[in-house]
Structure 1
Amino acid sequence: MGDITNISTDSQGRKVVAEPCLEPCPIERGMRLLGGKWKGSILWHLKDGPVRFNDLARQLGGASKKMVSQRLQEMEEAGLVKREVISDRPIAVAYEITEFGRSAVNFLEILKDWVESHEI
């Protein structure tokens, strides 16, 4: 689904797209960043401060540690979270939300309120 660059109406008043944009629209780009399974929940759990990996995996309940690890790696590469090694033996790491990641928390709060208000 790309940005629509040129919309007109036909003789019956229906919208007609003359030429779609080849670039992904802002909604699609945002969903690529935050829309993966568990990403929004991970950010939500990190909003109040750093969380150790095992604690985060427990908070997410239905997610496997492998899935949590994959999502965290994707989010780290995107600049949403940062990883900090706490100890080498035994290995312990914590994750913290970045300022970029924190900028999405307002969106998540609005989504949470919307879901609660519609009893979804």
Structure 2
Amino acid sequence: MDARVEEDGTGRRQAYNVCLEPCAIERGMRIIGGKWTGSILWHLKDGPVRFNDLSRMIGGASKKMISERLRQLETQGLITRTVMETAPVSVHYEITELGRTALGFLDELRKWSESLPEGLTTS
């Protein structure tokens, strides 16, 4: 919903069409907006990935952080975790159909980010 602020007849500012908590954007950002969450889903789009391979794909994220995000995504139903009874034991992660529904806008985000001017900072 588009929010706007206008002055009322007494000169006070009044907000209209306020996004109620949690609005759709806020809810979506709470689910997918965590650091590394989008990257994890993106790297799982082509099929199951072992934990160590995933941690190598996501430069800059600690294994602890990746592990926390994976647990969160699994709880939310966006990925599945499979323990392979091999020697040594291997754990694979795979995106679910629900998780795949995020890939469209993640791809749009990727395209948008690639179109930004050089030198635009992220800080």
* Gap change, CA 1:19 and 1:59, over 3 Å in 2: closer
The CA deviation string for residues 20-61 of structure 1, in whole angstroms up to 9 with x for no partner, is 565311111101101111000000000111100000001001
One-letter amino acid of the structure 2 residue matched with residue 68 of structure 1: I
* Gap change, CA 1:113 and 1:91, over 3 Å in 2: same
1:96 equivalenced with 2:94 (yes/no)? yes
Q: SS of the residue aligned with 1:24?
A: coil
The CA deviation string for residues 97-117 of structure 1, in whole angstroms up to 9 with x for no partner, is 001100000010000111111
Query: In structure 2, how many angstroms separate the alpha carbons of the residues matched to 1:15 and 1:87?
Result: 63
Query: In structure 2, how many angstroms separate the alpha carbons of the residues matched to 1:18 and 1:103?
Result: 31
Query: In structure 1, how many angstroms separate the alpha carbons of the residues matched to 2:31 and 2:22?
Result: 12
One-letter amino acid of the structure 2 residue matched with residue 112 of structure 1: R
Quote the RMSD (CA, aligned, Å). Answer: 3.0
Query: In structure 1, how many angstroms separate the alpha carbons of the residues matched to 2:45 and 2:17?
Result: 41
Q: SS of the residue aligned with 2:110?
A: helix
Aligned residue in 1 for 2:79: 81
Q: What TM-score, normalized to structure 1?
A: 0.83
Structure 1 stretches of at least 4 aligned residues deviating more than 4 Å after TM superposition = 18-22
Q: What TM-score, normalized to structure 2?
A: 0.81
The residue correspondences of 1:6-85 to structure 2 (distance < 5 A) are 10-11=8-9, 16-17=14-15, 23-85=21-83
Query: In structure 2, how many angstroms separate the alpha carbons of the residues matched to 1:54 and 1:101?
Result: 21
Structure with the higher fraction of residues in strand conformation: 1
Identity between Structure 1 and Structure 2 (%)? 57
The CA deviation string for residues 63-117 of structure 1, in whole angstroms up to 9 with x for no partner, is 1111110000000000110001112542210000001100000010000111111
Query: In structure 2, how many angstroms separate the alpha carbons of the residues matched to 1:60 and 1:21?
Result: 34
Q: SS of the residue aligned with 1:93?
A: strand
Aligned pairs, how many? 118
